[in-house]
Amino acid sequence: MRIEVRPSSAQDLPRLAEIESVSEYSAHWGEKGLSEEMARTDGIVLTVLADGAPAGFAAGRAVAGCASLYDVAVAPENRRAGLGGALVRAFAAAAARAGCGMIELEVNASNAPALRLYEKCGFAVVGRRPKFYNLTDDAILMDMELR
């Protein structure tokens, strides 16, 4: 499989919204939310292509020297093929180009695949918010310093 990551475009939006709609832990941006995020001067929205077709995205912001990674979603049929890692690495590179020295994120404690991905990419757990999601699931706070 050929993997490529690039800035998202308006043409990607229908597929990205479709991928997000089946992602259990996604922020549920929808086409409108992703489009608005793409239009922000501090927004970073990236699409990963698998053999030329949109297969996932990462979305976040770079503000005042720190980037926040809000969402990483990969189509179910493309999971466990390295696309999530490619997105996180590309997000980190974009954040560094924007002058950021670190990336922060929060992830549902029950989302084991995401926790493994972020740890593998170099994030470290820095905190926990008890019962943050729906008053049941904890949020795990993670940071990664950029070099």
Residues that are catalytic: 106, 118
Question: Is 60 within 8 Å of 110 (Cβ atoms)?
Answer: no
Question: Is 58 within 8 Å of 94 (Cβ atoms)?
Answer: no
C-alpha to C-alpha distance for 69 and 49, rounded to whole angstroms:
19
Q: Retrieve residue 60's tokens.
A: 């976040």
Q: Retrieve residue 131's tokens.
A: 């019962």
Cα first-last separation, the chain? 29
Instruction: Return the CA Rg of the chain.
Output: 14
